[in-house]
Structure 1
Amino acid sequence: MLCFAVVTYVSAFLLSDCYRSPHPVTGTRNHSYMDAVRVNLGQKQTWFCGLVQYVSLYGTSIAYTITTSTSMRAIKKSDCYHKEGDKAPCAYGDSFYMLMFGGVQIVLSQIPDFHNMAWLSVMAAIMSFSYSFIGFSLGIAKVIANGSIKGGIGGIPLASSVRKTWRVSQALGDIAFAYPYSIILLEIQVFSQQVFSFVDRWSSEKFPNNGSVKTFYTIKLPFLPAYRFNLLRICFRTIYVASTTGLAMFFPYFNEVLGLLGAFNFWPLAIYFPVEMYFVQRKIETWTKKWIILQTFSVACLLVSIFAFIGSVEGVVSEKLS
């Protein structure tokens, strides 16, 4: 975890220099990760960046659906145990809570853009601090109750060294998912708004005369500001949320899905692109000391990503077949 924290710091340092181009302080602002890649590395690299970033955002939507339903189920089970006792058969499925969360997200996904959701950002910040404080407090309470800190650096024992290796690789993928925030560093938005904005912008450029794209309708609800929408926004965003909810119900394996996503996006988005853009901006020549250090750093992180990806794929397949 400490190593990933250092990697995250270095990644954020490199990527923040790409916020403006060609100079990191006086240059023109890059409004998105893809804009930064386009300016520094060219169009082909931009398409690769966009593919990885948007697939990662889509996968993250699936992961959030899973973790939300898991949390809701845990609350329900906790209430049940408090009422019925520790021996009560408090079993609850995930599908109902996933459908509930998906229904809420269909509504929230229709928010036009980042500038219309300041209230949601405030609520998200409060929630982040709240569950972090709750988790920290519960951890302290558990240590006090046990009288000691249990566990060790070796983790839990497993039946074989092979299973232990798979678990280690999945754990690396989980940490890789949790630590880097490069996917939204240049375009801070609660998740999937980047995908929606890209689709809106691309459709407007590709089909400027299409009625579903250019024709907007206005709804005025009591106590709420007027809301403008078009058929593209309603249909695409609804299908997007419905598909992520459906896949979450089909693959409800939280740790394995997180590991897979972390392994998939960690190296390209948190390491490769920031390093390559840094080379271009700072005009770092090949085989210089700084070039060798950063390339070694990049290759090492690539190997970790490959290891985590293989283990996470094995975990998803094993869970699905079990």
Structure 2
Amino acid sequence: MEKKSMFIEQSFTDHKSGDMNKNFDDDGRQKRTGTWMTGSAHIITAVIGSGVLSLAWAIAQLGWVAGPAVLMAFSFITYFTSTMLADCYRSPDPVTGKRNYTYMEVVRSYLGGRKVMLCGLAQYGNLIGITIGYTITASISMVAVKRSNCFHKNGHNVKCSTSNTPFMIIFACIQIVLSQIPNFHNLSWLSILAAVMSFSYASIGVGLSIAKVAGGGVHARTALTGVTVGVDVTGSDKVWRTFQAVGDIAFAYAYSTDTLKASPPSENKAMKRASLVGVSTTTFFYMLCGCVGYAAFGNNAPGNFLTGFGFYEPFWLIDFANVCIAVHLVGAYQVFCQPIFQFVESQSAKRWPDNKFITGEYKMNVPCGGDFGISLFRLVWRTSYVVVTAVVAMIFPFFNDFLGLIGAASFWPLTVYFPIEMHIAQKKMKKFSFTWTWLKILSWACFLVSLVAAAGSVQGLIQSLLNADLFTKSVAPFS
């Protein structure tokens, strides 16, 4: 299972012995076993993640008309560009050409030059941003468990304030330990557990929202255009929140695909079918989460509908959902940081092959675990990375703003620009032809959307920092 933003350069060993027809593909690499059905499952489990938590808030900013429309637009664009990427999996011919096993290999095959470097910068920058965002989200969920128990014990009107910082430290300590596992494939069980957790908490959120809507009582106030200027927000806040909501939806559509076995239909057709099923299912689930969540909370929808305490009871179910989020993000963090680790370590080993600090490895016997390889460079570098991401998360502990910024920064280059440019190169389209023109218009339109979404998220981060600073100053005399 490879995330679009995670098609990172890796080295593979060619297999030159054994039964090529039985165990290996025609290019000498280990035979792939994925089908369009398993590919669809990987897309669904990989995409439905922490981004779903902010969709009710995003729909609240956009309203009943624009909210679902934006969700559908991102869904269509994601599927459309994924079909282009599927055709580029093999080059130059989409059926018989050489396979490209990473995103950067595809970009190198079709575009080359500086665009390969730009692709790498976009990928690694996105991965770093996501690991910071996951640190924030996990700590918020841990805090929510503590607050939920406090509310249950002392009543809903009690403040029950808790700092995120200790929980970020706990999360970072867990990641420091897990990061020392040298082989990413040893963490496959963690990925499976993370997928189960993501489905669990998203389903609980939808179920609680449906129960709240069906329960009657005071109905939440909603509107066709979302939050109302002069009632809920000021005019400028409405504009900035709208931009940020677009970024949150873009983050939710971080897309994935799988490497499928070579069998009828061709690999690119199987990938397209998997994308159609995966994106359609994900969009249905997102519509359910966003729209039912908005119906439940109205214009006051919290940024995270499982930690914003629109729900208080049953408290044990709220606790379980937030534990699921934390466990999911423990695994998801490793999925996104391991390619960064491997890239830095492989490049360092190539540049300083004789440096014992970088290349040396020592065996240590772990009780019940057998021999475990310890590298001083890996220990220092990976620990430093986790610590730095935790410190940045402590400085910017704002869920919606950070998610919107990551989504805005990664959606256009990785989901739109590179697939379109590679499709144009593959088809050898003439400049200013009809298809070339409208593809360029789509790319530039998505670029502008990403720009305004990024602007909204940056403004949200600044405003959140200012509000946090004002709050600190106001409570300081009473501390």
**TM-score per shorter chain, which class?**
over 0.9
Aligned twin of 1:259: 404
Aligned twin of 1:292: 437
- SS of 1:226's partner is strand
Say yes or no: does 1:169 pair with 2:239: no
Aligned twin of 1:155: 226
Q: Scaled by the length of structure 2, what TM-score is found? A: 0.63
Question: What is the alpha-carbon distance in structure 2 between the residues aligned to residue 63 and residue 18 of structure 1?
Answer: 31
Q: 1:52 to 1:181 in 2, by over 3 A?
A: same
Query: How far is 1:227 from its partner?
Result: 2.1
Counterpart selection for 1:59 from 105, 129, 141: 129
Q: 1:233 to 1:275 in 2, by over 3 A?
A: same
Aligned twin of 1:36: 106
- SS of 2:373's partner is strand
Equivalence map 1:173-212=2 (5 Å)? 173-181=247-255, 190-212=335-357
Whether contact under 8 Å (1:113, 1:193) holds in the other structure is: no
Whether contact under 8 Å (2:110, 2:426) holds in the other structure is: yes
Question: What is the alpha-carbon distance in structure 1 between the residues aligned to residue 374 and residue 431 of structure 2?
Answer: 50
Aligned twin of 2:92: 22
- Runs (5+) with no aligned partner, structure 2: 1-70, 260-331, 468-479
Question: What is the alpha-carbon distance in structure 1 between the residues aligned to residue 442 and residue 146 of structure 2?
Answer: 45
Question: What is the alpha-carbon distance in structure 2 between the residues aligned to residue 37 and residue 159 of structure 1?
Answer: 44
Whether contact under 8 Å (1:213, 1:232) holds in the other structure is: yes
Query: How far is 1:185 from its partner?
Result: 6.7
Aligned twin of 1:78: 148
Whether contact under 8 Å (2:247, 2:404) holds in the other structure is: yes
Whether contact under 8 Å (1:30, 1:36) holds in the other structure is: yes
Aligned twin of 2:413: 268
Query: How far is 1:97 from its partner?
Result: 0.8
Counterpart selection for 1:215 from 345, 360, 368: 360
Question: What is the alpha-carbon distance in structure 2 between the residues aligned to residue 103 and residue 21 of structure 1?
Answer: 43
Q: Scaled by the length of structure 1, what TM-score is found? A: 0.93
String of CA shifts for 1:3-32, please: whole Å, max 9, x gaps. 111111112222233333223333333232
- SS of 1:286's partner is coil
Aligned twin of 2:464: 319
- SS of 2:226's partner is coil
Query: How far is 1:149 from its partner?
Result: 7.1
Whether contact under 8 Å (1:113, 1:197) holds in the other structure is: no
- Runs (5+) with no aligned partner, structure 1: none
Aligned twin of 1:139: 209
Query: How far is 1:95 from its partner?
Result: 0.4
Q: Percent identity?
A: 46
Whether contact under 8 Å (1:173, 1:263) holds in the other structure is: yes
Question: What is the alpha-carbon distance in structure 2 between the residues aligned to residue 219 and residue 25 of structure 1?
Answer: 47
Runs (4+) of structure 1 exceeding 6 A deviation are none
Query: What is the root-mean-square deviation in Å for CA atoms of aligned residues?
Result: 2.0
Query: How far is 1:206 from its partner?
Result: 1.2
Range with greater deviation from structure 2 (204-213 or 139-148): 139-148
Question: What is the alpha-carbon distance in structure 2 between the residues aligned to residue 185 and residue 154 of structure 1?
Answer: 38
Aligned twin of 1:128: 198
Question: What is the alpha-carbon distance in structure 2 between the residues aligned to residue 69 and residue 276 of structure 1?
Answer: 39
Whether contact under 8 Å (2:227, 2:233) holds in the other structure is: no
Whether contact under 8 Å (2:180, 2:378) holds in the other structure is: yes
Figure out how many residues of one structure are paired with residues of the other and give that number: 320
Paired AA for residue 447 in structure 2: L
Paired AA for residue 51 in structure 1: L
Equivalence map 1:39-50=2 (5 Å)? 39-50=109-120
Query: How far is 1:58 from its partner?
Result: 0.5
Question: What is the alpha-carbon distance in structure 2 between the residues aligned to residue 18 and residue 173 of structure 1?
Answer: 27
Range with greater deviation from structure 2 (21-30 or 208-217): 21-30
Question: What is the alpha-carbon distance in structure 2 between the residues aligned to residue 89 and residue 229 of structure 1?
Answer: 46
